[in-house]
Structure 1
């Protein structure tokens, strides 16, 4: 739904609310002017019941109930006329119209509110999805890494499975950035992301932690030695793909850092990332 549709829904809801309040005000004034306390009280409770039915069961049930309410009023009027004890209370005929108008107004107001709630729910889901996935590479981002790493760490506590992260960066990226055009930068980002995904196992999750200074991460249930083997495999695949791409003429190299979760030295997933980033500084191969 477009923003114009959203604005229209909000406007319709506001208009229906104002109409509903205006009808309530008119009903209160008419109840005071007509003076039939007993009948006004009975009809008021009947109207509240009709509105509850409208809210919970929709417009069809509301219209049927309104017809029943009108029939009830007609029977009361006919009874009073035939009994001859009272004159027909013409002043109370507004009860045949106002409950119906209130029901219709309430229905459209709640209908637009439900529509707005669905829109808000979709927006929240979209925000979460955009926060968890990178649009360009379709990789998970730092948001997802933090959530997943917490699960990995909890698994480490319960089952003593080693948890290791591989941090991948491009050596001297800031210098390369000044020499490369936007298209080349996008190609480098996609190439590296694809290589990492293809070179890792299906149960190893890949993340793009930073777009500005491209930083990738992989979470693995393995020890440092096993992660180092995976890191070397990624570097070899990267060099091979790079030599067969349009970026082959540039002096591009990948650096990796491997860090294993250590509960005695680390408190949260940020510490695991920081340890991996520090290890990339010592990758001189």
Structure 2
């Protein structure tokens, strides 16, 4: 936690203690003054002001508190001018307490929001740091989406075709039920090593999903060039499966979907990724 976070946390604690102290003081004053009906009415008014503070912020809260104070002043002036004997002067603390409670609540919630924002930024940073899969050392979906944006910009500036290939294991859910955990891990490593070995150095490989293993490749080429590259990967994968003692007895094959970036129909990196995933349905 940096100094700003520590300061926000300290202010939040101070606001909380001040808020609790004010509520305790209010309870004592309500007991001392003894006017149960007016105290209950004013308490509900104070709770309403606190809800305004929480949901709408400081400025609406201050305006509402000023209106509440004005109403109390008007009531007391009316009672005084009409010579009402029992003017509840002892309840004048309600002019100050709701305002102080609102300020304490705002201070507490404001610093809480600052801490929440800091935590959100920390989570984002952790996600970005997790742009690489630890087991395969491949880039993940986070990096894939960011890199598509870079590839798309290159396509726009230099008119270089950009294509993605999405690779999956055919009938993986069925294979998963028949294979041991060791075989599954071995299959994923074999697939990853095959893709790495059969791609060019300037083609970037990603692991998009661990549960339903999905790999992706970004290539500076058109659909035809990507088809040649994926055929090479498929052939290498088939050869490796045939020569692998633990996997050769199973019907394991790849399915591939290829999509090319189209600036006219695609607006976000997700459009290219989803198009590639959709194309895997047609690889029979």
TM range (shorter): 0.5 to 0.7
Alignment deviations for residues 205-252 of structure 1 (CA, whole Å, 9 cap, x no partner): 246xxxxxxxxx965698985217789xxxxxxxxxxxxxxxxxxxxx
Matches within 5 A, 1:118-129: 118-129=117-128
Residues 165 and 219, structure 1, Cα contact 8 Å, conserved in 2: no
Separation in structure 2 between the aligned mates of residue 101 and residue 126 of structure 1, nearest angstrom: 38
Matches within 5 A, 1:132-211: 132-133=131-132, 140=139, 153=168, 165-167=191-193, 197-198=201-202, 200=203, 205-206=205-206
**Residue 6 (structure 2) aligns with:** 7
Matches within 5 A, 1:22-33: 22-33=21-32
Gap regions ≥5 residues in structure 1: 146-150, 170-191, 208-216, 232-256, 267-285
Separation in structure 2 between the aligned mates of residue 59 and residue 154 of structure 1, nearest angstrom: 56
**Residue 61 (structure 1) aligns with:** 60
Select between 35-44 and 77-86 the one with higher mean Cα deviation: 77-86
Residues 63 and 100, structure 1, Cα contact 8 Å, conserved in 2: yes
**Residue 226 (structure 1) aligns with:** 232
TM-score by length of 2: 0.55
Alignment deviations for residues 89-122 of structure 1 (CA, whole Å, 9 cap, x no partner): 2211111111111001111111111111111111
TM-score by length of 1: 0.55
Q: CA deviation at 1:133?
A: 3.4
**Residue 158 (structure 2) aligns with:** none
Q: CA deviation at 1:27?
A: 0.4
Gap regions ≥5 residues in structure 2: 145-165, 174-187, 208-213, 218-225, 253-284
Count of matched residue pairs:
193
**Residue 103 (structure 1) aligns with:** 102
Residues 50 and 62, structure 1, Cα contact 8 Å, conserved in 2: yes
Give the match's secondary structure for 1:132: coil
Give the match's secondary structure for 2:86: coil
Alignment deviations for residues 164-222 of structure 1 (CA, whole Å, 9 cap, x no partner): 934179xxxxxxxxxxxxxxxxxxxxxx9xx9551x2xxx6246xxxxxxxxx965698
Q: CA deviation at 1:78?
A: 1.2
Q: CA deviation at 1:258?
A: 5.5
Separation in structure 1 between the aligned mates of residue 91 and residue 141 of structure 2, nearest angstrom: 66
Report the RMSD for the aligned CA atoms in angstroms: 4.4
Q: CA deviation at 1:80?
A: 1.6
- Provide closer, same or farther for how the CA distance between residues 51 and 259 of structure 1 changes in structure 2, counting only shifts above 3 A: farther
Counterpart check, 1:47 vs 2:46: yes
Residues 51 and 102, structure 1, Cα contact 8 Å, conserved in 2: yes
Alignment deviations for residues 54-82 of structure 1 (CA, whole Å, 9 cap, x no partner): 11111000010000000110111112212
Residues 20 and 106, structure 1, Cα contact 8 Å, conserved in 2: yes
Give the match's secondary structure for 1:118: helix
- Provide closer, same or farther for how the CA distance between residues 197 and 12 of structure 1 changes in structure 2, counting only shifts above 3 A: farther
